[in-house]
Amino acid sequence: MNIEYSNTLEEVPWDRVSYLFEQVGWGARSPDKIERAFQSSSFVRFAYAGNELVGFGRTVDDGVYYGWIVDLVVLPSFQRRGIGKHILRELESDLSPFITTMLVAAQGASGFYENQGWYKQRSAYIYPRSERQIDVFSERR
């Protein structure tokens, strides 16, 4: 199936974005908050199969030095067809003026990023906002 990619927030079905977050196991997120987060993002990409939203990703940055890729998600039934790779390539390109491009891999996604030429950092830290974040991100446990 032909996939079309868009970088505009116009007519994005935010309830569908919320549905995709749930489908990849990231829990319930309200469409209103998601829309606000995407509106505050520097670059966005959406993947559509016909009229159906099947993937997305976005970036946050400081306008000068640092850019992060966040919320890269592909609907499970559309995974392993090159959609994640395509969105990642475009967001990497959007962030090319920045000195540093970073991301935090979700559980199970490290292989995907390493396959795409990303390197695991030796010295990344997170200030945990929950016990769960310590369990998920810390090597100390």
Binding site for ligand COA (CB under 6 A): 24, 72-74, 79-85, 105-106, 108-109, 111-112, 115
* Distance separating alpha carbons of residues 23 and 118, to the nearest angstrom: 25
Please state the closest distance from residue 41 (CB atom) to ligand COA, in A.
15
* Distance separating alpha carbons of residues 102 and 61, to the nearest angstrom: 10
Phi then psi for 45, rounded to 5 degrees?
-140, 140
Please state the closest distance from residue 53 (CB atom) to ligand COA, in A.
13
Q: Which residue number, 9 or 21, has a Cβ lying nearer to ligand COA?
A: 21
Q: Which residue number, 10 or 124, has a Cβ lying nearer to ligand COA?
A: 124
* Distance separating alpha carbons of residues 78 and 120, to the nearest angstrom: 26
Q: Which residue number, 24 or 136, has a Cβ lying nearer to ligand COA?
A: 24
Please state the closest distance from residue 42 (CB atom) to ligand COA, in A.
17
Residue nearest to ligand COA (CB): 84
Half-sphere exposure for 139 (CA within 13 Å, toward CB): 5
Rg (CA), the chain: 15
Please state the closest distance from residue 81 (CB atom) to ligand COA, in A.
5
The residue assigned the tokens 């995907």 is 112
